[in-house]
Amino acid sequence: MAIDLSGGLEALAEGQRLRRLTHLTAACHALRRPPYAFADPLLEVPMYRIGGSILALVDGTLFNPLTGQQALQVAPDRAGGLVALVANLAPGVLKY
């Protein structure tokens, strides 16, 4: 999950680097603190990168864990398709 959120396998190729690893680290720290208190957010929380933002899906709410800004309330089983929809409809909501 960390590699996917930081640029994917192509970011590990020679001459490339992982992107925005600090955003992922900060998002995980935020998800470890109350009110969420996840022991290991990378394993417990579905996360998505949209532009420069990392969004987390917790209890049907898609939000930016760094700012707490809610992007969308969704049914958890439909999150993947709705994340793509939100990225196309409301890019301003998802900026870091």
Task: List pLDDT tens digits, range 38-81.
Answer: 999 999 999 988 877 888 988 888 899 998 888 777 655 555 55
Listed in sequence order, the residues at least 6 apart from 1 whose beta carbon sits closer than 8 Å to its beta carbon are: 42, 43, 47
Within 13 Å of residue 88, how many CA atoms lie on the same side as its CB? 5
How far apart are alpha carbons 6 and 44 in whole angstroms?
Answer: 18
Segment 12-48, tens digit of pLDDT: 777 777 667 888 899 999 999 998 999 999 999 999 8
E strands along the chain, which residues? 47-50, 53-58, 61-63, 70-73
